Structure 1
Amino acid sequence: MTNLSELHSAIRPTTLHEEVASRLRTLIFERRLAPGAWVDEKALAAEWGISRTPLREALKVLAAEGLVTAVPRRGCQVNELSEDDAAQLFPVMALLEGRCAHEAALRATDAELAELQGLHEALELHAAAHDVNGYYRANHVFHSRVQALAGNRWLDRATNELRKFMRMLRGRQLNWPGRLEASIAEHRALIDALVRRDAHRAERLMHDHLMAQLQALQALRANESRPAPPPAPSESP
């Protein structure tokens, strides 16, 4: 008969590599492991005080999720979403998050909607301070909460799967001039629709909010890809 200590020792390796995978995701989502970067297995194993075995198992998980790519004899490289990836991802995420808003408007309790208003107030504070990083973090919490309030496990599963890739962009579109101000205005309309339990309006507003993010991201990337203007000719003395 198997005793409890044997069961505990049997599951520890799995628990460890799952914890390592979670840490790696955080590094990627926070861009401390930037798109295109190689994962330094030796350095991370030393920093975290673990062997490279659970680290490699964790990297296999992330490779299956599409966050990294394993390259033979070189290691793992953090994936980067291309313009085509973003153009295909955002419309699908807009449909999913729109549906989350629709179902949240119908199912959330009054207390839960009051909590959501509190999360919106945090967004207002970060927008007023023009704190892009703080706004991004608060925005992630807000969207995740709307998703949870929808109370649909199938919708939750599909949305979680794609949200990982959205987080790889880490709200880069917020750096486009005027996007932060536009985003908070969109959120004001959205929270109003949710509190009023206007499910159809909430769905449309959330959908359009995601598509506006895509437009800003595309504008930002187009601007970054433009060649720098040549230097102005110096005047002769």
Structure 2
Amino acid sequence: MRLVHKSLHVQVADTLRQDIFAGSLAPGSFVDEVALCERLEISRTPLREALKVLTAEGLVRHEPRRGCFVNEVTERDLDEIFPVIALLEGRCAHEAALRASDADLAALETLHEQLQKAARGKRIVDYYDINYTIHEAIITLADNRWLAQVIGDLRKILKLARLQQLHAPGRLTQSLSEHLAVFAALKARDAEGAEAAMRTHLTRQREALRELARQQNRRLA
């Protein structure tokens, strides 16, 4: 695979980011620069520039005299990130409630109908996809590029954890109820209610992940 466009290091960063999110470059794994240069048919310079980008995003860490490694997300990281992203996405819901047009709300209603169908069918993969689209739509409606930028950066870190909170017992039904509460507040143009509902939604995601971790630890004990 040969990368030939301008801003080569940006393309390399995109490729490596996809590898990380797909698990081809697993959390904690060593980033073999020689092998990557051979696979991508590039020199060390664009690769190292790309690694600087990924380091700034928190996806990769550089260790002196050892090289680069894919970052791992710890329980402490999750404890620290979720309250922040809950605040930020809560603010997005607040601003979206003030800005959304009738057409915007109609589009969101269609997405929530799809979300309910996925939940009823226990189609978790579809539910994740629609859930992501809804969150992105609310962020877009907030029309605040600074919020969007910071949330995007934090979401990249959370992707490293390969989160599966919907597999926690009862979480699918609970998540749907939370989403409907957010949407009800948006329809009512209740900015404070939408913000509170979104913060609750993100906080409970973290609680579900803690429960999954406890279950896993019990199985391993």
Structure 2-normalised TM-score?
Answer: 0.87
Helix, strand or coil for the counterpart of 1:76? strand
1:69 to 51, 61, 85: 61
Tell me the equivalent position of 2:118: 126
What is the Cα deviation at residue 201 of structure 1? 1.2
1:145 to 137, 142, 145: 137
2:146 to 131, 149, 154: 154
1:121-164 alpha-carbon deviations (Å, 9 max, x no partner) = 33233323323333223222221221111012232233223222
Q: Kindly, what percent of the aligned residue pairs are identical?
A: 51
Q: Alignment RMSD, CA only?
A: 2.3
What is the Cα deviation at residue 58 of structure 1? 0.8
Aligned-partner Cα distance in 1 for 2:213–2:104? 37
Conserved 8 A contact 1:30-1:170: no
Larger deviation: 212-221 or 114-123? 114-123
Classify 1:119/1:37 alpha carbon distance in 2 versus 1 (closer, same or farther; 3 Å): farther
| 1:223 partnered with 2:215 | yes
Aligned-partner Cα distance in 2 for 1:109–1:54? 44
Aligned-partner Cα distance in 2 for 1:30–1:124? 27
Q: Structure 1: which 5+ runs fail to align? A: 1-8, 230-237
Classify 1:174/1:41 alpha carbon distance in 2 versus 1 (closer, same or farther; 3 Å): farther
What is the Cα deviation at residue 17 of structure 1? 1.0
Structure 1-normalised TM-score?
Answer: 0.81
Greater Rg by CA = 1
What is the Cα deviation at residue 31 of structure 1? 3.3
Classify 1:126/1:82 alpha carbon distance in 2 versus 1 (closer, same or farther; 3 Å): same
| 1:190 partnered with 2:177 | no
Aligned-partner Cα distance in 2 for 1:133–1:39? 29
Tell me the equivalent position of 1:81: 73
Q: Read off the aligned partner of 2:111 and give its amino acid letter.
A: L
Tell me the equivalent position of 2:94: 102
1:31-78 alpha-carbon deviations (Å, 9 max, x no partner) = 343322233444444444434432222111111221111234543221
Tell me the equivalent position of 1:25: 17
Conserved 8 A contact 2:73-2:158: no
When the two structures are aligned, how many residues end up with a matched partner? Answer: 218
Helix, strand or coil for the counterpart of 1:226? helix
Aligned-partner Cα distance in 1 for 2:28–2:165? 19
Classify 1:119/1:24 alpha carbon distance in 2 versus 1 (closer, same or farther; 3 Å): farther
Larger deviation: 30-39 or 206-215? 30-39
Conserved 8 A contact 2:61-2:68: yes
Conserved 8 A contact 2:83-2:203: yes
Tell me the equivalent position of 1:178: 170
Tell me the equivalent position of 1:38: 30
Aligned-partner Cα distance in 1 for 2:126–2:36? 27
| 1:165 partnered with 2:157 | yes
